[in-house]
Each structure stands twice: as structure tokens, then as C-alpha cells.
Amino acid sequence: MEKRMLTPPEIVDEAINVGVKKSKGSFFTTLLGAILAGAYVALGAVSAAAASHSIENYGLAKFVAGAIFPVGLMMIIFNGAELFTGNTLLLVGHKDGKIPFTKVLRNWGIVYLGNIIGSILIAYLAYAGGVFDANGGKLGGYFIKIAAYKGGLKFSTAFFSGILCNIVVCLAVWAQYAAKDIISKVFAIWFPIMAFVVAGFEHSVANMFYFTAGILAKLNPVYAEALQLHSDKLAKVDIAHAISNIIPVTLGNIVGGGIIVGLSYYYLYKKSSVKVENVQKAV
């Protein structure tokens, strides 16, 4: 009878194998997969914002956004794509000696670039396609509001929130490795991603979209007027503020996903099991 799920030690091996395959991808295939992943995350963000932006109850708005946003990671996992935050787990393969650190950095660089392109593409298509006009332009104003909030975060706040975010995101990626069927993978992904959205943690790729959407929405004064956003908010929505947010968030995402999740489980199950095997052989 076929196993219905992998055990925790087997998940570590699966993460290593997946990382090795990713590290061997060509520039073109890796970039194309990353563009798709950036687009999928952005589509999840657009849909979540459209559903929740006009809900006045804070908790309910977060819940609705969290219920919809996971569709982005589901599309990435099920259809195949390259997401930077998930690929921080390549550090597991590096620690196991199967992926040179240069290849880890190469993958991260290509994927990061592709995620940016995909995020910008969907933000522009949503802007040009009139999606921001929804609810009298309030959806466009909502994107400005989100970008202004993120642009105003301190470096340390963005960094630590980035750590929290990718702990949860990579736990979702890690958990779905265990599942053998698509329904189980849906639940493994949905609950953790919902948790990070509800909690309001900082995700570097999602922020690529939010800042692009906010900058584009800022071009049309109707959107800012729809939510009565003033100059103090608008001043934080630009490329400089985007960079000042995304850098610490990215660093936090690497720590949260690659180190806290990936390396913790590697030492818990892979490294410890090697030591046990060596002791048994010695006896």
C-alpha cells in the first residue's frame, strides 16, 4: 500500500532533492518560472484586496484576505514556478553538501529578478485593465494605503516581520512536501498562508506587487481622493521607500525560511540521524 504522506525525516530528503533540481535549472527556465511565480503571488494579492478592501471590521477584512491570498502559492506549487521566499530552502541542500553556495546565490538572483518582473506585470495589467477603479476607485486608493504603510516601516520592524512571514510561508512549503494528493497539499498550504496574511507579516515578493500597484495608483489622483489620502501618505509611495522596505524584508525572509525553518529541520532530522547511524555502525 502506497504511503499517504512522507515522514518528517523524508521531508528533509525531499526538500534537498527539490533544491538540487532547482539549482540545476537553466537561466531561461528559472527566470520564466520566477516571472510566473511573481505573477501568481500578485494575482492572489489583487484578488484578496478586491474582496477585503471595503470591509470595515479589521478582523473580518483580514480573514477574508487571508482566505483568498493562498491561491497564489497553490498555483506556484501545483503548476510549477520559482518563488524566492520558498527557494530560501535551498540552504538545506547546501548544508547537506549537494548545492554549492554559488548556485544558491545564482538561483536566488535569477528568481528574485523574475519575481519582480512578474509582480510588476500583473500590477500594470490590473491598473491598465481598470481593476483599480473598483468601488469608485477605492481599490486603487487601498493599494496606495498599503504601500504607504509598508513604506513607513522601520528597518528593524520590516526585518523581523519578514522573518515571521517566511517562517510561516516555508512551513507551508515544507508541509506540502509531505502530502501525496492535491487536497492534502491544499490544506497544508492554505492554513499557514492564511495565518501570515491575517497577522500582517511582510513578504518580499508580495511587497514587490503592493509597491508597484501603489506607485501606479498614485498617478491617478482619483484613487487617493477616494480614500481621502493626504500628502503625508503619498510621500511614502515611491521607489526609494519601496527599496527601503524590500531590502530588510528580503533579509528577514532568508533568515525565517532558509535558516529557522530549513536548517532547523535539517539538524533535527538529517544531521541527528547521521550521528545515530554512525554510532550504530561503530557499535
SS (H, E, C) 129-174: CCHHHCCCCHHHHHHHHHHHHHHCCCHHHHHHHHHHHHHHHHHHHH
Q: Which residues 6+ apart lie within 8 Å of 148 measured at CB?
A: 214, 229, 233, 234, 236, 237
The whole-number mean pLDDT for each consecutive block of 10 residues of the chain, a chain of 283 residues, reads: 81 97 97 98 98 96 97 96 98 97 98 98 98 97 98 98 98 95 95 96 98 97 94 95 98 98 95 50 40
| pLDDT at residue number 271 | 73
| pLDDT at residue number 280 | 38
| pLDDT at residue number 221 | 95
Structure pTM? Answer: 0.93
Element spanning 91, H or E: helix 90-95
Structural domains in the chain? 8-275 (1.20.1080.10)
DSSP 269: I
Q: Which residue has the cell 550521528?
A: 275
- The span from the CA of 113 to the CA of 63, in Å, is 31
- The span from the CA of 239 to the CA of 129, in Å, is 23
Say which amino acid occupies 74. M
In this structure, the number of other CB atoms found within 10 A of the CB of residue 22 comes to: 21
- SS3 at position 5: strand
CA 278 to chain centre: 38
| pLDDT at residue number 281 | 45
| pLDDT at residue number 277 | 47
- The span from the CA of 61 to the CA of 141, in Å, is 16
| pLDDT at residue number 278 | 45
Whole-angstrom CA distances from 61 to 48, 71, 142, 228 are 9, 17, 13, 20
- SS3 at position 179: strand
Say which amino acid occupies 69. F
- The span from the CA of 107 to the CA of 9, in Å, is 25
